[in-house]
Structure formats: structure tokens, C-alpha cells
Amino acid sequence: MNQIHIDPSRKLGGISRNLFGGFIEHLGRCIYGGIYEPDSPLADENGLRTDVLQALERLQIPLVRYPGGNFVSGYRWMDGIGPKEDRPTRIDMAWHATDTNQFGTDEFITFCRRLNTEPYMVVNCGDGDMREARDWVEYCNGTQDTALVKLRRQNGYEAPHRVKYWGVGNEVDGPWQIGYKTPDEYARAYLEFAKVMKWVDPSIKLIASAASHWQGGTVVERTQQLLEQAGKLIDYLSIHWYVGNPTNDFAAYMAQSELIDERLFAYEGLIRALCLQEGLAPLIPIAVDEWNVWYRTHGQADHQNLEEVYNLEDALMIGIQLNSMIRHAYSVKMANLAQLVNAIAPIFTNKQGLVLQTIFYPFELYSRTCGTTALDVFWKGETFSGGTHTGVRVLDVSATLDDASNRLSVYVVNRSQTESMETTIKLDSACFGGGVQAYVVNGPDIKAENTFDNPNKVGTTPAQLTADQQTSFTYTFEPHSVTALVFDLK
Ligand code: AHR
């Protein structure tokens, strides 16, 4: 029998809403043909696809990262402002494409305001310079009568865009990046970019690009150089990961939870050690500002516009990644699902409409039910072996408490392909209040996909239940499912 023990007074830390951030890049049909399609009958007066906006609204995304990704390392932001007919088409070397610049800074801000989400801009620290970066902050946030502020006003935006979050470069540790930098080169560049960007607007929060190249990379050295040279100017340290199932081995895929947890534990330890060494307090938080499942279209010669078609096992992997970030919510204060539309995305469009991919459902579920505090959960039960891991618990679990409503959310991924998992949830130092809302993301089998022909194979099923014993509740988790149980507490 599986058991989950929760003591709501054992709090791990506050959960930042920014854990449910998103990311859009000038890449394939993410923006053009996804978010922005002015010729479409589905577009609003700003050229934004209304069906896409409606789907995005369901995800309740608090912030969106833009414009890349690899794209940003060759981007000139000034190409994407002003009259559309004057905007140049440029070669995009990151994705071997061209970009018309019809969607740029102001269109992105309009998109964010329409979606009620915060913009998070990344500046070009690839082939771009600090002058461009600081000018972009001034164009967006400036209030004085400077030439750049006048330009923004002339472009129709009287009020400042008030962009709070700014990333300095993207994946500068990767040899695939335009303008790859050694640890020392980036730490030095970061310091100088950050100085002038914060001088333009001291209220902005800066994200340093720390680790994306985990194998053969220089994670420790990069972070050390960054903290030693520029620690006081770093508000978040960004790490990226993508997971996948390239060998079609379900057990090995599901066991990647261990790798994710391990990376977070290791990176937290590294930050802790370096902050102690440098006398930096409080600890610099982590931004996982790109994460997702991505392997089918990874490394393909033509990239296939990264139009990954997801299945149910990928949806389980979304739950597993969110569980891990909730368990590490005391250090992970931002995360951005990469990406939102068409390119490795939960929303997939064609000219006539869209389909919600399997991974849409767990993300929506967690985003809409997650509480404000992460809880320390103890659980035990059946185990499995996968890849190099043994003794991995079949259930993957996290829990949150919503302090205002006194609501407990328990998230469980059942990684058994065939077995239901009867489980007792025991509460310490609290009592169930009676009402339980269950939401189950599932489908017929682990390879089930949602397509235009068959859009509802995987989805969320809600059920209203009752916890009739004060401190114990037994529930059977369906095979290959992601479940949220939301309890009212007394
Ligand atoms: O999200 C797709 C790509 O993955 C991004 O452009 C890059 O930052 C990462 O390698």
C-alpha cells in the first residue's frame, strides 16, 4: 500500500507565481502563424490570434519570456519597432530562417497586457553590445524626455512599458549560441551590461544565463565567475533543461525525475556555497527559464520548426517536472515553460483553429490549483527501476497549501503503465474539512496524442469527492495519470 504523509505545518517555503511562466521565441510558427497572424479571420485588431489568447488565458501565465532563446543572440531590437512598412527583414542565423520584424517590442507588450501577464525581455549578449541593451531598457521603461522615450511615444506608447524582468543573454554556455562566451568572458560582459541596464532603471530584475549545457559544460566555473565578478547585480541565476524519451524506454523516461531533482539539489548547493564565500545574502534564486519535453525535433537538420507532437507520457513528464520545482520552491522562484505555441508547445495551431496538446492539461491543472506554500511531503510505496536509477517510487508527489483559503493541493503522478495505485493520504496536525476536488489528466494509453482529427484523447476529468475521516483519505490513482486532489482543511 502506498502512503503519503503530510503535515501542513512543515513548510518548505513560499511558492512564487512566476513558477508558471511561459516563453515565446521568434522560431518557426511560434509567433508568426501562432500568436500573431494579422491576416487571419481569427485575429483581433492587433493581429493577435483570439483563439490562441483564449487558450493561453486558461494557463494563467504570470510572465512571458521573449524574444529568445537562441534567436535573441543575433537580434537587433530596433529592427522591430516603428512603422511596419519600414521594418527590415533579416536573416535569423539561430534557426536558419528570416524574420520580418513585424512583431517586435511594442507588439509583445500589447500581447502581454492583453493576456494580463508580465513581460520578461532577454537582451542580446551574443553579437549584441551593452549599448543596445541599455537603450532597450530606456526605450521600454524611460520616463524622461530622451530621444528613445520620444521614439516610444512617437510609436504610440505614451506610458512606459515598465518591463521588470530582463535576461542578459541566452545559453551563452552553449557552443551552438551566436556569440558563445567562456565563463570569464560572460561574467565580465554580464557585469558591464548589468551595470548600465540598472543605471537606466534601478528597479529592474536581472537574470544571468548560468547553465544549459550540463554535459561537458562548465556549470561550476561559470557560476563561480558570475558570483565572484557580478554577484551583487544578479537577481536570478538561469538554468535550462529539456527531457525526452529518445530510446522509447518508458521506465527510463519516467526515472528522469531523479536527474531533475539532482540538478536542483546540486545547483542549490553551489549557489549556497558561493553566496557564503562572497558574502551575498539572501541566496540568489534559480530561474528555470526554459524547461519542457523536447527530443523528437531536437538536432534535426531542418529543425521541423520544433513542432513536437506530444503524447500522454510527455504529459506525465510535465507533472514530474512541476512536482520537482514545487519541492524546490524555496530556491526556484521562476520557471518558463518553453515554449507556448507551435514550437515545442502546449498549443498547436493551423489556419482554422487550434488543438490543445497533452502537455497543456497538467500545466493548466497545476497553474490553476497551486497554493502559496510548498509542503514537505513524505511518501513511500512501490518502486521501479529505470535507466541508471533503481528504487524509484512509482508515485511522484508534491503538495502545496494555499494560505488564504486553507486549501491543500496534493499532486501525484502515477508512473505505472498498468497498475492503479491505492494510496492512503495521512494528515498530521490538521484535519480534512470534508470537500475534495479531484482532477485527473489521463488518456487511453501512454502514446495517446491529441490531434486535429482526434483532439480529446487526453484531457482532464474532474470529480467531487468527500474526505469523511478526519486525518486519513484513501484514493486510487489511475495508471499513467497526473492527479491533483484539492482538499479543504478545517
Ligand atoms: O526553446 C528552444 C531553444 O532551446 C531555445 O531557443 C534555446 O535557448 C534552447 O536551446
192 part of a folded domain: yes
pLDDT (tens place) for every residue of the chain, 490 residues total: 899 999 999 999 999 999 999 999 999 999 999 999 999 999 999 999 999 999 999 999 999 999 999 999 999 999 999 999 999 999 999 999 999 999 999 999 999 999 999 999 999 999 999 999 999 999 999 999 999 999 999 999 999 999 999 999 999 999 999 999 999 999 999 999 999 999 999 999 999 999 998 887 789 999 999 999 999 999 999 999 999 999 999 999 999 999 999 999 999 999 999 999 999 999 999 999 999 999 999 887 667 799 999 999 999 999 999 999 999 999 999 999 999 999 999 999 999 999 999 999 999 999 999 999 999 999 999 999 999 999 999 999 999 999 999 999 999 999 999 999 999 999 998 999 999 999 999 999 999 999 999 999 999 999 999 998 899 999 999 999 999 999 999 9
- d(C-alpha 480, C-alpha 441), whole Å: 9
Domain limit, last residue, from 372, 402, 417: 372
Residue 433 — φ and ψ, nearest 5°? Answer: -95, 0
Contact 170 CB / ligand 1 (< 6 Å):
yes
Q: Residues for the chain: how many in total?
A: 490
Residue 454: its pLDDT value, please?
A: 97
Contact 69, 94 (CB under 8 A): yes
- Known catalytic residues are 171, 290
- d(C-alpha 216, C-alpha 316), whole Å: 28
Indicate which atom in ligand 1 lies nearest the CA of residue 176. Answer: 10
Indicate whether 343 and 407 sit together in one domain.
no
Out of 214, 290, 297, mutate this one to test ligand 1's pocket (max ligand atoms within 8 Å of CB): namely 290
Closest C-alpha to ligand 1, atom 3: 69
Residue 299: its pLDDT value, please?
A: 80
Indicate whether 302 and 442 sit together in one domain.
no
Residue 68: its pLDDT value, please?
A: 96
Closest C-alpha to ligand 1, atom 7: 69
Closest C-alpha to ligand 1, atom 1: 338
List the CATH number of the domain containing 282. Answer: 3.20.20.80
Contact 74 CB / ligand 1 (< 6 Å):
no
- d(C-alpha 252, C-alpha 374), whole Å: 27
Contact 362 CB / ligand 1 (< 6 Å):
no
Contact 171 CB / ligand 1 (< 6 Å):
yes
101: cell is 520584424
245 part of a folded domain: yes
Residue 304: its pLDDT value, please?
A: 77
262 part of a folded domain: yes
DSSP 167-236: EE-S-TT-TTSTT---HHHHHHHHHHHHHHHHHH-TT-EEEEEEES--SS--HHHHHHHHHHHHGGG-SE
Indicate whether 38 and 136 sit together in one domain.
yes
Indicate whether 183 and 250 sit together in one domain.
yes
Domain limit, last residue, from 340, 356, 372: 372
Indicate whether 159 and 78 sit together in one domain.
yes
Indicate whether 367 and 379 sit together in one domain.
no
Q: What is the 8-class DSSP label of residue 141?
A: H
Residue 143: its pLDDT value, please?
A: 97
Distance of CA 400 to the CA centre of its chain: 18
CA of 121 to the centre of ligand 1 (A): 15
Between the alpha carbon of residue 403 and those of residues 15, 324, 370, 434, the distances in Å are 11, 21, 11, 18
Nearest-10 Cα torsion for 369, 374, 377, 382: 50
Domain limit, last residue, from 372, 405, 427: 372
112 part of a folded domain: yes
Out of 26, 27, 70, 92, mutate this one to test ligand 1's pocket (max ligand atoms within 8 Å of CB): namely 70
Contact 292 CB / ligand 1 (< 6 Å):
no
DSSP 280-332: --SPPPEEEEEEEE--TTTT-TTGGGG-PPPBHHHHHHHHHHHHHHHHTTTTE
Indicate whether 353 and 425 sit together in one domain.
no
3 part of a folded domain: no
Indicate which atom in ligand 1 lies nearest the CA of residue 70. Answer: 6
Name the pairing type of β-strands 389-393 and 383-386. antiparallel
Indicate whether 326 and 463 sit together in one domain.
no
| Residue carrying the nine cell digits 513536437 | 308
Q: Say how many domains are in the chain.
A: 2
Contact 99 CB / ligand 1 (< 6 Å):
no
CA of 306 to the centre of ligand 1 (A): 10
Closest C-alpha to ligand 1, atom 9: 69
Closest C-alpha to ligand 1, atom 6: 69
Closest C-alpha to ligand 1, atom 5: 69
Closest C-alpha to ligand 1, atom 2: 69
**Can you count the helices (H) and strands (E) in the chain?**
10, 23
Residue 301: its pLDDT value, please?
A: 65
* Per-residue exposure over 160-171, b if at least 16 CB sit within 10 Å of its own CB, e if not: bbebbbbbbbbb
Indicate whether 368 and 438 sit together in one domain.
no
Indicate whether 327 and 383 sit together in one domain.
no
- Domain boundaries, position 107: 13-372
Residue 228 — φ and ψ, nearest 5°? Answer: -70, -40
- d(C-alpha 61, C-alpha 337), whole Å: 10
Indicate which atom in ligand 1 lies nearest the CA of residue 306. Answer: 2
What pLDDT, in 10s, does the model give residues 467-479? 988 999 999 999 9
List the CATH number of the domain containing 379. Answer: 2.60.40.1180
Indicate whether 344 and 401 sit together in one domain.
no
Residue 239: its pLDDT value, please?
A: 98
328 part of a folded domain: yes
DSSP E strand stretches across 24-181? 63-66, 90-92, 97-99, 118-123, 165-168
319 part of a folded domain: yes
Residue 312: its pLDDT value, please?
A: 98
Contact 290 CB / ligand 1 (< 6 Å):
yes
339: cell is 515554449
CA of 68 to the centre of ligand 1 (A): 7
What pLDDT, in 10s, does the model give residues 138-195? 999 999 999 999 999 999 999 999 999 999 999 999 999 999 999 999 999 999 999 9
8 part of a folded domain: no
Indicate whether 349 and 393 sit together in one domain.
no
Indicate which atom in ligand 1 lies nearest the CA of residue 95. Answer: 6
Between the alpha carbon of residue 165 and those of residues 119, 121, 138, 206, 443, the distances in Å are 7, 6, 14, 6, 38
